[in-house]
Structure 1
């Protein structure tokens, strides 16, 4: 593959032009050097697939190149051995890659910095080379968008339809994944539906091309010309046949078409037309008729399937047109402003005018509100009282040392979950840990809502661990009866308010139950700094494996982020399937990679 490394400005200009012509909703450019945003770099390199899955078919994403990879090239649509890249960034295109690449290359000759010399760029494997290329890419891209150094690191969200860019400041507490997830929830389902319809259209077009019925244009022209020459023999019959033949390049043949062709063939072969058959033109027509009839007979088994495919394609084409209009009506800039206003550290929009190198585009910047400092200080005080290892906030005084208190709630009213086994595994894992004496457990089996409130107020836990049944908006507790029972499903809101109903709310809530990840964003927005949940239905053994390893790592002095990663790794190493389901969320102003729940006591 011969690849030409383009200047960032040339690459971005052609990319925006191609994206706009393809009807993309927008593009996201992540401008963050390692020294400025280490957490974002770690998130992007470790969870790049997750970030791209969130943006789906709505947003093209340009991301710094991970150290183990090289830039994703924009390949030439007709020459597979050619491509272009911008060193230091990689591109993910949401849909219509072939059309996008064609538009990109059509636009490229008009751009400065482009020539026809192709070279193979050096692989960005060494860490120092990777960091240097990444840093330079950020600098060049910021200059291209007219973004000053004071506003880097940042996220640039470009709205194609509005030709407007929004610059969003990021710091160590900013979660790219969570922000994009909230944005896509606002965007709605139209881009996703459009992506699916485009995929379906592409598949139908490919199937129709590979299972083509009807006749090639050259063959139709030849037969039509011969029929015109013989039309005097039976004007009405041959004229009808000729009309039908001329439609067979675009439509699926029918039995009526085949009958018309056979009728002309039979006419010319009848005893009454014996004299005409000696005419060379008539003999040529008969020969062509025989070949065409043979072709159509061969295709006959596929006619009905082809007809259904053609009808489905017409329907999908209509869907694509409607969905394109719906996507074009979405104001990405307005949605960004709403999401920013709802963040734990709210942002307000400020107009910064046009971008000199992007004619017709305007830019605005989202800046933090003055109340942000008050909000982050309050969050800091909540985390600070435990005595977390690492300098999470520089302004905090040295915290009080105390044991980590974990309230363990287990509920399985139907008796179908091995919650007792999970608690046993957690106890065993903690018993082997270096700092086992620094963790104190309050275990509540067959936990009721009364156990939850009593544990919160009496035990004052730093961690609330729940194992049992849950859904996206419910948590299941036992009822205080002796027999198996239906249990009591409380709303996620009621559960959160119970957690919050204390002068010293917990630091972490771990919902080791199915579909509970849907609840954790609300928990970190208003209740606790950290929350963990499961993004889908998780197996019993998977859940137990994760929990045991998570607490083992915590008791070894690992950070919350590392303990979370260790739990997921334990599931995968055990050969189980659900290692991607445990999901960690955190509030603004805290860093799970720098926050440790257990430290050595003096």
Structure 2
């Protein structure tokens, strides 16, 4: 199951993107409330692990996160603001570190895009409430009308096709059976999705281990080989953007000390043109020392934080993506850092060597497994390609669940813009057959059928009392 926050419709853009980037073939959204789909919500919450296992990497079944729905007020606000504006931020240096960390994490982490959960993280009733409470928001985001609820929506990412399965209110239709039928029809597709997910996980681990093996410590030899280089010769787009940003920041605060700011801007421009790496570091250190005092931070409008970001970016590009712990209290931060690194290597050199050796062994195992995964993916590709798409398999499973169905095809709108939407609904009950109530056989005397009568109807009995009334009249 794919647990994600749905406290505003705007978050769903990132939830859908997160499921797609996590390698799922599709996303299933239950547009249901407990009042008209209690059987389906009970099944999803009580048989959570079964649904999670049968869908695997094939379908992410969205579960609105109850913890976000009931969290403290400021944290959902952080998530939602970040989501609606698609922000990418670096936390500023102020006292509310928790808030900043949450803000940045909301765009970069699992809190926003969702995470796979094999077992329900909260009690079943909380999950049922979360599904119910999110139904209107999810429907609104995907452009589904109230008249079409209860329903199940499945997005097939590769095909850019969505299938909207309308459910009978208060029916016992099983979503687990629906998912199981889809998985049975797409067995090789599901296996390919699982192998691809494994491949991504192995490559992430491989990247981490390469960084362990290629230790980025700052040795004197590394510093000597790079400190005399011209900064301009090592400039990347990322680094250029940081230095441009610093120049704009200095320009915006020139009124604080016009002469000093102009001196800094001119010196940095000169260093970017033909200065060395070491000269640039020393100039950045000098600026940061001047403005880092707490009483000056407000006056310089966070210039210290901006310079720190430029130093960190320079570390990554020049010294191998490793932020150094420059001690600006020391008269010569570079020499101090070299001494610190050498002492660290002396204390932990043997341990670091052992860790690197273990990392190399694991890398060999990962290489072998990656080769095995790639070979299996190649073997099953013809079988995978021969299977129907996820949308077609879902429609077939809906037919199996609902019996006779009607279908329509429409263009998606709102959150389904760019998708073709197949609407599947149970076939309407056949109209009641016309019953022929005409009289047959021998009829004596005048007769009137009920269908011909207008106004009041009086029934007169023609039995014994009627005959006696005629005799004595």
Query: Which category describes the TM-score, using the shorter chain as reference length?
Result: 0.3 to 0.5
**Greater share of residues in helix:** 2
Structure ID, larger Rg: 2
**Greater share of residues in strand:** 1
Q: TM-score if structure 2 supplies the norm length?
A: 0.46
